[in-house]
Structure 1
């Protein structure tokens, strides 16, 4: 029996046994492919022996979309792909990717393709087939339940359609979608997500084509990302100084606009630019009545064009998810323009970068409409926000910036690049029915390739994987940090005391040497240190100490118990009630205040010496400075260091203790005799702040 016949028999058996019941329980356009490939005696002409039955069904559907036979597609792949991509171990999956990418590039040329149920099922079947691409792959066993796809398949296929997913954020997007189904994505959730995308795109097109801010955004063809504050139950408040005013907030792909609410209309819009280099600061902020800081529901905005910061408040009954969403999308536009300016991106590549930020916001809007997903962390689902947080995110952005030049090089290969890459975001945007950016229309093939290459891991994907590995380490380290945090000042002081105990022991040993409690040890230590200084071996001594620490760490790594570190045991101090804790805090504040006062007195006395408030003391101080200058000018530095060390270390030796005590006493008496420079406290009169005095761009 031939290989084709065996495969055909397998497919017939799967259809008879109901293994494709999950696909055909509702009649779909794919049924004819299953039936024809399973029952027709001529199906061998469209059967690829290297592919699994499910992969063959997907390939057949793709061949119908492109109007080519499966044998022609396979021949084109064999001609275009390199030998490494055609290796037997990965041939089936790479062939499936090649045919899928070509079919998706053609399918997305139809306006409104996201609404097409055939397209939705096709992309989901591609993910399923990607997990079992080869003829030797194990078939699915859970035929009674809806099948679901894993993260790798989703990231690979969904990222080939930029509106559905982005290479950088696809992993986080999958985790949100699959949170309610045990880490596997079901078709029902996937379809709801695409419906949310459809609504987000319709809203985006409607807002951008509306008359909102038409006179302000026409020169740069700005697209409206989001509008808020139009519903009276969910206002947006603009705080400037201590004044607040409700209004409508509008975010475009270049700026943030606020229109204050009047009686029956809106006032002229204030523009807060996000595209120019104005040293903007955007962060969460607390607000409250009369300038108090009570509610964590606002966004702080500051730039060089403003006289004072502006705060946008998003009131809601509980939580601050509304504020978090606006904070994330404002940052996404700001970071996208910073990325463009940093790498000097222009033309079509600039439009592509802005579109990536736009598509990320549309995907976030689609997720917020889903009720069966876990709470969304907005920053992790937006490309430029995520790169700002991830370790190595700057490398991802640099790789992304360099991809435009590499795309142009790939285009020089002509037909060999066609089909070996996913479609680009800008090409896909024009197929969604709206024009993005100010650049002229792109030619066919120009920037037509996306971020995924068939059978290869691109530089962008490698940077993402490395960043995610480092991020996992950071998360684990942060979890350990959160686990060792303790409450209470007394408990934290006890932990710190225990951690610093080795240094305390060393310090006590040095103090005992300095006080000559054991003259023999102190003499030996003094001679050794003096010899090291005179020979110029200070750097060598420091290097030896560092080497000792390295050796200690290596020995600890070799002899500890499987990487486990002994727990630090701390004696818990007696429990303090609320009053005792308040008194402890008050004592700490008092001590800190005394330290600051002593520091100010020292500075004021030094100012008095420099200003000759006390001529006699200033004269002695001038003589001391002159003597030090002469010594530094005449003697070599190593002699100055050794004399200073010997003078300080031997001050409490038996033969110098009495003279040192007298000298220290005279110095203290001289210091106490110095008057401090006078200080006058002047209270500044503050003018009341008014929102109308702020100059807006």
Structure 2
């Protein structure tokens, strides 16, 4: 582009005012793009002198590490040498061993500097802040001078200057080459992100740091985080916090929020994406708002929002929030709704989030509503009050803001195991209770104090006094959960991090996530074996229960005495087992044999893969035939329920002596059975019951047994049922 520009005649652009204006506009445009590309491809040139000076102070550290230490010393207003001296005094010698000396020093400087830099509500909007935190991650990955970090930038200043002159021409001539250069910039791994990002609580949390990294690098095949993606996330996060602060004043008048109540998200404000509230068979559009205490729904009236309906999430009223199907007139057609039910409600309410593809809106709102509910349940379970309770809720609020920012910036929809919400993650992980136990241990050590001791000082370590980092971070961002007199917003915090040590929360998360792979693999097999169709599922169940059906058929064949020899042998064997009181060993023998078979399969047939279970599905049916089959199945189920109710009502009639003669006979029979159980050994009773039931159809007893069963059926048929009266409910559903 520069060569092309040099061939343009000078007079064509300088001899006229129009040419001068065009040249000036073009020069300004090129200069602007050059400056932006400089910020994109390299660190600012203003830091070059600091890098050189710091490199002389710490020759054992890499260039990027010296740059980070220099910037941290400027933030702390402390010389780099004095910062190193403090590091050796405050960090135990057992932690700062030579292999990790530089890396732990980077952590120490970064945590100290971020505790000062992350103050005030506007630090996230500062471009230098996001650059600094990302460089801290780079320095953590490559702290030593002897180790060449991956994708290292050229060190030749002459090459950098020549490259700066050609940045703009490179962008115009070959955009693909520029994209490759952007991709070759330095990136960070999950380990560096998990060590640095949680030190700034609004950016990340120790519980969900790995999941947040996975969400930000979802489009990267190398699973490495680039600064462009990280900076976009920070800008989106800053936008979310600003919108939430602006919502404090605008929503309080219409919703009448209580003190310390913060609006976390709102939906239904766009006419093309409404939120429908279903109660009974009625549905009405409106605006849905979630706060840290409740869900609010404002129905759309004649051009304005009506009074908001409030659904509490904070008090213990046995709330249930789960996904549900909705549709017009109560039909269950669309899987795009969230159901809310509590003990104070006669029927549940459904919030539907219509969209053409998928159910991402519903899943997002389901997650954030459950996050608030889980946070309050965790607080009530352990009877936390004041500071501890506010810290629990503040952690949930920050998690929702992070989830909202990543969703708006990258349109990501994490799964249950990859959620960005800490309490939801603890609920869905296989060992999530360990995360809550570690969080409980941390909350028990929280104390505001006077706000003057350093969170990294040896004194605070000996006292094990922790700070409510999430609550303080919200206060610094402009959100107040409790009265300002109860918390000192000047306290410096660095999140749930310790220099050179693994946070207990992070350790608990690693233990809990160790079984995620097997859980996801098992769930994948479950999804694969699910078959569609009622007939197909019935056939599959019959095949799976074939051994039980075969055993029942064999016992029935023996009890019918069609083969007298086998039936007599079985009778003698079982009778002898019952008489010798060996029946108590039957179940242990069965379980022992099953365990032995499983162990033999485990060690002698482990190389053999399990064959797929084969079934022959029934012939395919059209929609009408399937509906008729379903109707026939429902009719059979209704008949079964009616028979069960009739049986219970006849028993009720016997108990309350509707037929006195029959009641006397049954009462006399029960007394005889009670006396038998009281005075006869149990094994004799069991032997008597087995012999009587097993020999009913022996040739000599078959006629008498059939006659006795016939009399019993006739007696039961003549038994009247207790009366039932249906009372219509006075409750009228909304129309």
TM-score higher than 0.5 = yes
**Secondary structure of the corresponding residue to residue 510 of structure 1:** helix
Find 1:68's aligned residue among 72, 78, 81: 78
Pairwise CA distance, 1:557: 0.9
| 2:686 maps to 1:641 | yes
Partners of 2:679 and 2:436 in 1: how far apart?
A: 56
**Which residue number in structure 2 is paired with residue 45 of structure 1?**
57
Equivalent pair of 2:55/2:63 in contact (CA under 8 Å): no
| 2:454 maps to 1:454 | no
**Which residue number in structure 2 is paired with residue 193 of structure 1?**
233
Equivalent pair of 2:121/2:478 in contact (CA under 8 Å): yes
Partners of 1:96 and 1:281 in 2: how far apart?
A: 46
Partners of 2:542 and 2:255 in 1: how far apart?
A: 65
CA offset digits 1:615-645 (Å, max 9, x no partner): 5444433332232122122212222122212
Equivalent pair of 1:151/1:174 in contact (CA under 8 Å): yes
**Which residue number in structure 2 is paired with residue 694 of structure 1?**
none
**Secondary structure of the corresponding residue to residue 381 of structure 1:** coil
Find 1:54's aligned residue among 58, 61, 64: 64
Pairwise CA distance, 1:349: 1.9
> 1:333-482 alignment to 2 at 5 Å?
333-370=372-409, 372-375=410-413, 380-406=419-445, 413-414=458-459, 424-438=469-483, 440-443=485-488, 448=493, 450-482=495-527
Alpha-carbon spacing, 1:319–1:36, altered in 2? closer, same or farther (3 Å): closer
Alpha-carbon spacing, 1:575–1:240, altered in 2? closer, same or farther (3 Å): closer
TM-score by length of 2: 0.80
Alpha-carbon spacing, 1:68–1:271, altered in 2? closer, same or farther (3 Å): same
Partners of 2:618 and 2:284 in 1: how far apart?
A: 51
Partners of 1:317 and 1:544 in 2: how far apart?
A: 58
> 1:261-280 alignment to 2 at 5 Å?
261-263=300-302, 265-280=304-319
**Secondary structure of the corresponding residue to residue 444 of structure 2:** helix
Alpha-carbon spacing, 1:289–1:492, altered in 2? closer, same or farther (3 Å): closer
User: Which deviates more from structure 2 when the two are superposed, residues 28-37 or residues 590-599?
Assistant: 28-37
Pairwise CA distance, 1:550: 1.4
TM-score by length of 1: 0.84
| 2:533 maps to 1:494 | no
**Which residue number in structure 2 is paired with residue 303 of structure 1?**
342
Aligned-pair RMSD on alpha carbons? 3.6
Pairwise CA distance, 1:207: 1.2
Partners of 2:627 and 2:277 in 1: how far apart?
A: 37
Equivalent pair of 1:101/1:419 in contact (CA under 8 Å): no
Equivalent pair of 1:250/1:257 in contact (CA under 8 Å): yes
> 1:37-116 alignment to 2 at 5 Å?
37=51, 43-47=55-59, 49=60, 51-116=61-126
CA offset digits 1:456-489 (Å, max 9, x no partner): 2233222212222233322211100111112223
| 2:143 maps to 1:133 | yes
Pairwise CA distance, 1:402: 1.9
Alpha-carbon spacing, 1:27–1:458, altered in 2? closer, same or farther (3 Å): closer
Partners of 1:683 and 1:315 in 2: how far apart?
A: 38
| 2:593 maps to 1:548 | yes
**Secondary structure of the corresponding residue to residue 327 of structure 1:** helix
Partners of 1:523 and 1:334 in 2: how far apart?
A: 64
Find 1:677's aligned residue among 718, 721, 726: 721
**Secondary structure of the corresponding residue to residue 212 of structure 1:** helix
**Secondary structure of the corresponding residue to residue 277 of structure 1:** coil
Alpha-carbon spacing, 1:513–1:138, altered in 2? closer, same or farther (3 Å): farther
Alpha-carbon spacing, 1:206–1:664, altered in 2? closer, same or farther (3 Å): same
**Secondary structure of the corresponding residue to residue 486 of structure 1:** coil
Pairwise CA distance, 1:201: 0.8
**Which residue number in structure 1 is paired with residue 256 of structure 2?**
216
Equivalent pair of 2:102/2:144 in contact (CA under 8 Å): yes
Partners of 2:618 and 2:333 in 1: how far apart?
A: 33
Equivalent pair of 2:216/2:229 in contact (CA under 8 Å): yes
Alpha-carbon spacing, 1:488–1:327, altered in 2? closer, same or farther (3 Å): closer
Pairwise CA distance, 1:181: 2.0
Alpha-carbon spacing, 1:300–1:566, altered in 2? closer, same or farther (3 Å): closer
Pairwise CA distance, 1:552: 1.4
User: Which deviates more from structure 2 when the two are superposed, residues 80-89 or residues 630-639?
Assistant: 80-89
Structure 1: gaps (5+ residues): 1-21, 692-697
Equivalent pair of 2:50/2:67 in contact (CA under 8 Å): no
Alpha-carbon spacing, 1:455–1:508, altered in 2? closer, same or farther (3 Å): farther
Alpha-carbon spacing, 1:678–1:270, altered in 2? closer, same or farther (3 Å): closer
Equivalent pair of 2:201/2:494 in contact (CA under 8 Å): no
Partners of 1:412 and 1:310 in 2: how far apart?
A: 52
Pairwise CA distance, 1:362: 1.4
Pairwise CA distance, 1:203: 0.9
RCO greater where, 1 or 2, for CA within 8 Å and sep 6 or more? 1
Equivalent pair of 1:101/1:420 in contact (CA under 8 Å): no
Pairwise CA distance, 1:316: 4.4
> 1:120-269 alignment to 2 at 5 Å?
120-141=130-151, 144=181, 145-182=184-221, 183-210=223-250, 212-213=252-253, 216-218=256-258, 220-263=259-302, 265-269=304-308
**Which residue number in structure 2 is paired with residue 607 of structure 1?**
652
**Secondary structure of the corresponding residue to residue 383 of structure 2:** coil
Find 1:626's aligned residue among 671, 676, 679: 671
Find 1:508's aligned residue among 518, 538, 553: 553
Alpha-carbon spacing, 1:289–1:412, altered in 2? closer, same or farther (3 Å): same
User: Which deviates more from structure 2 when the two are superposed, residues 220-229 or residues 164-173?
Assistant: 220-229
Alpha-carbon spacing, 1:231–1:595, altered in 2? closer, same or farther (3 Å): closer
Partners of 1:516 and 1:412 in 2: how far apart?
A: 87
